Amino acid sequence: MIFQRCRYPGFKHYDQINCIFRAVFSSKQENELAEYLKLMERRFFGLTITNLQKLAYQYAKRNQIAHSFNHKLEMAGESFIMNYLKRNSTLSVRTTEATSAAWAAGFNRVVVAEFYGLLDTLLERYKFPPSRVYNCDETGIMTMPNKQSKILSTKGKKQVGSLTSAERGTLVTAEICCIALGNYLPPLLILPRVRRNPLFEIGIPPETVVVCHPSGWMQSEIFIQWFEHFLHHARPTEEDPVLLIFDGHATHTKNIVLIEMARANHVSILVLPPHTSHQMQPLDVAFMGPLNTYYEQEVRIWLRNHPAQVVTIQQVGALFGRAYQKAATSKGWGKVKL
Query: What tens digit of pLDDT does each residue of 51-77 get?
Result: 888 888 888 988 888 888 988 888 998
pTM of the model: 0.76
Q: Which band of pLDDT confidence, cut at 50, 70 and 90, is reported for residue 268?
A: very high
Domain span at residue 29 reads 2-87
- In terms of domains, do 63 and 204 share one? no
For residues 277 and 335, give the distance between their C-alpha atoms in angstroms, rounded to a whole number.
12
Q: What share of the chain has pLDDT > 90, as a percent?
A: 46
Q: Is the pLDDT of residue 226 over 70?
A: yes
CB of 223 closer than 8 Å to CB of 255 = yes
For residues 320 and 326, give the distance between their C-alpha atoms in angstroms, rounded to a whole number.
10
Domain count, the chain: 2
Tell me whether strands 242-246 and 267-271 are parallel, antiparallel or unpaired.
parallel
Residue 159 counted as domain residue: no
Q: Which band of pLDDT confidence, cut at 50, 70 and 90, is reported for residue 150?
A: very low
Q: Which band of pLDDT confidence, cut at 50, 70 and 90, is reported for residue 19?
A: very low
Q: Is the pLDDT of residue 213 over 90?
A: yes
For residues 160 and 174, give the distance between their C-alpha atoms in angstroms, rounded to a whole number.
32
Burial 69-104 (b: 16+ CB within 10 A, else e): beeeeebbbeebbeebbeebeebeeeeeeeeeeeee
For residues 292 and 328, give the distance between their C-alpha atoms in angstroms, rounded to a whole number.
12
Q: Is the pLDDT of residue 153 over 70?
A: no
- In terms of domains, do 179 and 239 share one? yes
Of 160, 152, 147, 166, residue with least CA distance to 308? 166
Longest dimension (CA), the chain: 81
- In terms of domains, do 198 and 289 share one? yes
Reduced to 3 states (helix: H, G, I; strand: E, B; else coil), residue 154 is: coil
Q: Which band of pLDDT confidence, cut at 50, 70 and 90, is reported for residue 303?
A: very high
- In terms of domains, do 42 and 121 share one? no
